[in-house]
Amino acid sequence: MRSLSLSEEVAQLFVLPFDGEAPHSQSEEHARYLHWVQDLRIGGLVLVNRVQNGVVRHSEPHALAAFLNRIQRTARQARALGVHWILAPVADVNNNPDNPIINIRS
């Protein structure tokens, strides 16, 4: 942390959402994720569920793994240690019965 600038230290506090779609390596979306990681040096990406018409859509595992491996090429130290975080809710409070996700978990 001592070698980071103030803006890099602040960026490390940000974990931005990623919906599990594996963008093509030449797409604008892929470039945006690389910009977040390489240029802005954010703390990480968190995989969130995609909900389409009230139904949770799951990611294709192989494509998702390939994308995450490409993104993690900028995270040599963490990869060497095998660091992967799963940030999942430990408790949900359902204050909206129409919420398609929390409604079935609560």
The answer to whether 16 and 46 have CB atoms below 8 angstroms apart is yes
pLDDT, residue 50, reads 77
The answer to whether 46 and 18 have CB atoms below 8 angstroms apart is yes
The answer to whether 42 and 36 have CB atoms below 8 angstroms apart is yes
- Which residues in the chain show pLDDT less than 70? 1, 77-79, 81-92, 103-106
The pTM is what?
A: 0.62
